[in-house]
Amino acid sequence: MPSRVVARRTVLRVEGGRARPRSDQLAAEEPLEIRVNGDAVSVTMRTPGDDFDLALGFCLTEGILASPDEVATIRYCSDQPGPYTGEFNVVDIATRSATPVAAELRRNVYTSSSCGLCGTASIEAVRKRAESVAGDAVQVQGATLLTLPERLREAQRVFERTGGLHAAGLFTATADLRCLREDVGRHNAVDKVIGWAAANGALPLSGHVLMVSGRVAFEIAQKALIARIPIIAAVSAPSSLAVELADEAGMTLAGFIRGSSLNLYAGERRVLLS
């Protein structure tokens, strides 16, 4: 697939009271239709790239697939009818059983890249699908958490060019970066990371830290829980429902990690403070 993560546009740059045209780089945003055995299950606005990881991660975290072992093939299908069939804008996952997707799991809706639209309707639904991670004994130094925003930013290659992308990074407890993905949608970036882990046989992600560049809403917490990630760290604040889920599921949730300070919202026992 050719790189389409950046789009160029001429803008009018105003500086010091003077205006002049200049070329600018924008984060690309295009629709991606995700299909399973030919059935459309979601349309999401995303930054092109790592589309197979995104499709796989989405289907696992939304309960459409129970395990990556179900997957036979993942491919682009640009020759099929439909409104999103531009080249590389439709991904189909074929399962080994090739059974149709249950009607209640199909997402016949538009999924915004900005805030997400999780398939689970409530925190109760997540409780039924995911076990607690309270037994995960991993611990991390508070000083290590403070380094993660900068480590994440240093690895964001497209953000440096556009300033318009979210990122999700998968770290070990000693701050070794295992995977980083960028996207216009923060939940898409998380799905891409989880999809990468699934494709590489790395699930469950026990003992890891998920670092995100923005806020932590409920859908990010539930996706991390499905992947068995015990620690979530973020530059910004979590939502109340994300904190409730983290607390009930035994997850550690740290937010507002900036400079030399952070807030611990849940699971503070895993963070070692000097």
Question: Helix or strand or coil: residue 243?
Answer: helix
Q: Per-residue pLDDT for 129 more than 90?
A: no
Cα diameter, the chain: 64
pLDDT, residue 56, reads: 97
Among candidate residues 59, 77, 115, 118, the one labeled active-site is 115
Give which of 261, 271, 263 is closest to 238, Cα–Cα: 263
142 vs 26, higher pLDDT: 142
- Report phi then psi at 141, rounded to 5: -70, 140
Quote the pTM value. Answer: 0.85
* pLDDT at res. 79: 65
81 vs 224, more confident: 224
pLDDT of residue 198: 97
Which of 219, 175, 168 shows the shortest CA–CA distance to 197? 168
Write the pLDDT tens digit of every residue in 143-155: 999 999 999 988 8
Residue 238 is given by DSSP the state B
pLDDT at 160: 56
Alpha carbons within 13 angstroms on the beta-carbon side of residue 146 total 11
CB atoms within 10 A of CB 273: 8
Instruction: With beta carbons less than 8 A apart as the criterion, state whether 172 and 178 touch.
Output: yes
**Tokens 């932590």 found at:** 216
Name, of 37-41, 114-118, 249-253, the range with top average pLDDT: 249-253
Q: Mean pLDDT in the chain? A: 85
d(CA 147, CA 209): 12
CA geometry: angle at 162 spanning 152 and 192, to 5°? 50
Residue at token pair 């923005």: 214
Give the C-alpha distances (Å, rounded to integers) separating 272 from 53, 157, 173, 230, 265.
33, 31, 11, 15, 15
And the tokens for 67?
A: 């395990």
| 115 among known catalytic residues | yes
Per-residue pLDDT reduced to its tens digit, 72-127: 999 998 765 555 555 688 999 999 987 777 665 655 444 544 444 444 445 666 76
* Residue 164 scores a pLDDT above 80: no
187 pLDDT more than 50: yes
Q: Which domains are seen in the chain, by residue range?
A: 30-124 (3.10.20.10), 140-272 (3.40.140.10)
Q: Are 255 and 237 in contact (CB under 8 A)?
A: yes
**Which is higher by pLDDT, 25 or 259?**
259
What was the pLDDT predicted at 191? 97
